[in-house]
Structure 1
Amino acid sequence: MDKRNAGPPRRRKALLKCDIAPMNKAFLSNLLRRVGLIYGADLVRYGFVRYQNRQQNRAFRAANPAVALPPDYPLYETYQLNYRKYYEGGRDTAQWICDLLSPHLELRNAHLLDWGCGPGRVIRHLPEVLGHGCRYTGTDYNPEFVAWCRQHLARPDTAFLQNGIEPPLAAEAATFDAVYGISIFTHLSEQGHQLWFRELMRVTKPGGVLLFTTHGEAFLPVLTPAEQARFAAGRLVIRSYENEGHRMFGAFQPTAYLQQLFGQQTEVLQHVPGQRLGNTSSQDVWLLRKR
């Protein structure tokens, strides 16, 4: 799915950062959408970011000619238009995921699902980082991302599936030992939360582990007073400047809402609240076990 997530900082177990704009920028985005200029403004921003990164991207491509890189716009849509951060940050995030899962799951010969794999930023590194005879499946609702991954990243141990904005996945029940979704629930409607959590539970084996990131209390400063009140009441907050799944469709999840969503069918193994660092917030991290 379309998502903008900075991933863990390099060389340490990191906090996942999300490029959610301050309230005044959110107001501007809403205004641009109402007057029909949101797409044009976004294309202007894309052009600026592409120009801003041109030299370092050329340098990375020259130094790493064997590295397959997605086209620029998918990078802009899902992460950052910086080749080095996409590649090296993806490797760091893959290691971070393994570090979180390994205390709770035997990762030898395991089958992992990357739910919302985008253009393969993380899953491409898992065979190198994890190994041990594991298998990997990436799934996404964007057909261009899936086609690119199938062409450039598919291996005997790595496959890619196409899904819709709603379930089901093209997978049998109890297929995966572990499922991770990095900044995916953050772009789903309330119905999407319900449908997808139920589906992920279906495809996860009993005893399997699920890893998600969400927008928690660290994002309160970017919410309006009305949204903050809704959040404080334990209700999901939706901010939709685009269609569900797009990076400009934002969902903010109070702990009480998620605990109700998870219900009695899971055990919460770990919850790491996000932090506010200057104008940037980090996402909450949730680690669950299917009972």
Structure 2
Amino acid sequence: MATDGERDDGVQVDLQLHRAHSARMYDYYLGGTTNFAPDREAAGQALAVFPWAALAARINRAFMHRSIRLLAGRGFGQFLDIGTGIPTSPNLHEIAQGVNPGARVLYTDNDPIVLAHAQALLHSDPAGRTAYLEGDVLDPKAVLESDELHDILDLARPVVLSLVALLHFVPDDREARSVVEQLKAALAPGSALVISHGTPEFAPAEAERVARIYGANGTPVRMRTREEIARFFDGWEFLPPGLVATRRWRPEPTDPGPGATDAEASAYAGVAVKP
């Protein structure tokens, strides 16, 4: 793990420790240690208006684990995770390679804070591979044409595209749709799309307030309705149970927050396959 302000390759990184950061706030919700006073202060503000934020983060993380485990068990061996966030074990590659040791995973994020800690994402099973690409979801062409991607993934074969808890940080609807469509178009038939996304539908007042907290701390958020989120999957076929609250997507007895409500999750999740 890199020290604060320095990447694993020795290059200095501006970790912006003076301001709250959404990735470190999420790390705080998950009980991680890669967060600082401004992050904890902003997270406290969010929890004051949306008291289930930490539970919602854990429910979302559990959805990622379940969906990746299911897809790896169905034979998927290639994963593209965009908007990776600060590593919190078990990470996506640990889940995938726990089922399919030969799985190959490319992590992508545009955040220097994530980059500084990316070494934790590279401890692959010897039978598989993991790599990290510094890339921006708002420039999908650069991601898709990168040497790092083509060194790890074969786009002529099915790939799992993971956009977990990412798209609500792309507030412009047209831009968000364009990004997803460009990524979907580049993937082979049989590929899978995994999305979770914050919604105001279950707790409207609290969702509006927490979005304001994030915006005031420099991270615009766009909560979307189920209908709006469903459009990201256009043309692909949902796996059962379709697009549902994160806690309702194939729940398991060991999931966090047993008895949690849809309001406490306040996000939709779905997995779909390209025909």
TM-score tier (shorter) = 0.5 to 0.7
Aligned position for 1:192? 175
- In structure 2, the CA distance between the partners of 1:174 and 1:142, relative to structure 1 (3 Å rule), is farther
Judging by fraction of residues, say which structure has more strand: 1
Aligned position for 2:273? 289
Q: Percent of counterpart pairs with the same letter? A: 16
- In structure 2, the CA distance between the partners of 1:98 and 1:138, relative to structure 1 (3 Å rule), is same
TM-score, length-scaled by structure 2: 0.58
The answer (yes or no) to whether the contact 2:19–2:39 under 8 Å persists in 1 is no
C-alpha deviation, 1:102, in angstroms: 5.2
In structure 1, the gaps of 5 or more residues are 1-38, 58-68, 228-237
In structure 2, the gaps of 5 or more residues are 1-16, 45-54, 248-259
Q: Of 254, 275, 281, which aligns to 2:225?
A: 254
Distance 1:159 1:196 in 2: 22
Task: Report the AA paired with residue 141 of structure 1.
Answer: N
- In structure 2, the CA distance between the partners of 1:41 and 1:185, relative to structure 1 (3 Å rule), is closer
Which structure would you say has the larger Rg? 1
Distance 1:91 1:273 in 2: 13
Task: Report the AA paired with residue 142 of structure 1.
Answer: D
- In structure 2, the CA distance between the partners of 1:76 and 1:133, relative to structure 1 (3 Å rule), is farther
After superposition, give the CA deviation of every residue in 1:219-251 in whole Å (9 maximum; x if it has no partner): 424356xx9xxxxxxxxxx869549xx884222
The answer (yes or no) to whether the contact 1:70–1:119 under 8 Å persists in 2 is no
Task: Report the AA paired with residue 202 of structure 1.
Answer: A
Map 1:128-167 to 2 at 5 A: 128-149=97-118, 151-155=119-123, 157-167=129-139
Aligned position for 1:3? none
Distance 1:175 1:76 in 2: 40
Over the aligned positions, Cα root-mean-square deviation in angstroms equals 4.4
Distance 2:225 2:60 in 1: 27
C-alpha deviation, 1:91, in angstroms: 8.4
Distance 2:39 2:94 in 1: 20
Distance 1:139 1:74 in 2: 26
Task: Report the AA paired with residue 115 of structure 1.
Answer: I
C-alpha deviation, 1:278, in angstroms: 9.1
The answer (yes or no) to whether the contact 1:210–1:288 under 8 Å persists in 2 is yes
The answer (yes or no) to whether the contact 2:110–2:134 under 8 Å persists in 1 is yes
